[in-house]
Amino acid sequence: MSQLIVYVDGFNLYHGLHEKWGRRYLWLDLVELARSLRPDDDLVAVKYFTASVLDDPDGQARQDTYINALTARHPQVFSVIYGRYQRKQMTCRTCGITWRSYEEKETDVNISVSIVADAASEAMTSALLVSADSDLAPAIRTAKSTAPGLFAVAAFPPRRSSTTLRTLMPSSFTIGAGRIRAAQLPDIVTVEGATYKRPAKWT
């Protein structure tokens, strides 16, 4: 049986889900989704790469509730690796109006380092990348050269695709709507007396 580690690009997945269905399916059980995508593999870990929401307390609270629910439900498998958001001052070249924007930093690097390190340490024999970010292709190439027997595949979020990744990993596919719907967390997750409720904005 193949030893599987799943790498979830939280930013890529979130925006794919949001563009396709709004907030309806954001309460997604990433571990159950991984198991449904590779049911014959032994799931070693699901690594979720994200960044804490910045300057939005309500958004931060929703994100924390979601991550805490997944961590409580799957403590042996699920982990979070944080990057960061960076504030940027933007200016319109035409009218001169300025506004604040945000750029996610470090996520690509964190995913890449993790994939290569896991391949080098033989922590897995299969890697599933939930992303369509072609910037991750060098990490996949390095991992496959480091561990020649490694099976690697990308599962593209809704409305996301990458010819580069598909060429590199020919078994890659788009995650279907049925898989997303079937892998939703219960509206209320209770673990050892702690309760986590689906955010009202995500219904």
Compute the average pLDDT of residues 8-29: 97
pLDDT at 53: 76
Q: Which residues touch 82 (CB under 8 Å, ≥6 apart)?
A: 50, 51, 52
Q: Is the pLDDT of residue 38 over 70?
A: yes
The structural domain count of the chain equals: 1
pTM score of the predicted model: 0.90
Task: Determine the Cα–Cα distance for residues 178 and 153; give it in Å rounded to an integer.
Answer: 19
Domain that holds residue 165: 3-202
- Give the CATH number of the domain where residue 68 resides: 3.40.50.1010
Instruction: Please name which of 12, 84, 28, 79 lies closest in space to residue 55, comparing C-alpha atoms.
Output: 84
Give the pLDDT confidence of 57-108 residue by residue, as tens digits.
Answer: 898 999 999 999 999 999 999 999 998 555 556 566 777 666 455 466 578 9
Using CA atoms, how far residue 179 sits from 64, 134, 151, 194, 195, in Å, is 24, 23, 22, 27, 25
pLDDT at 101: 58
Say what the alpha-carbon torsion angle 75, 156, 11, 44 is, to the nearest 10 degrees. 20
Number of residues in the chain:
203
pLDDT at 95: 76
Give the pLDDT confidence of 146-195 residue by residue, as tens digits.
Answer: 999 999 999 999 999 999 999 999 999 999 999 999 999 999 999 999 99
Tokens standing for 138?
């060098």
* Tokens 């945000």, located at residue: 102
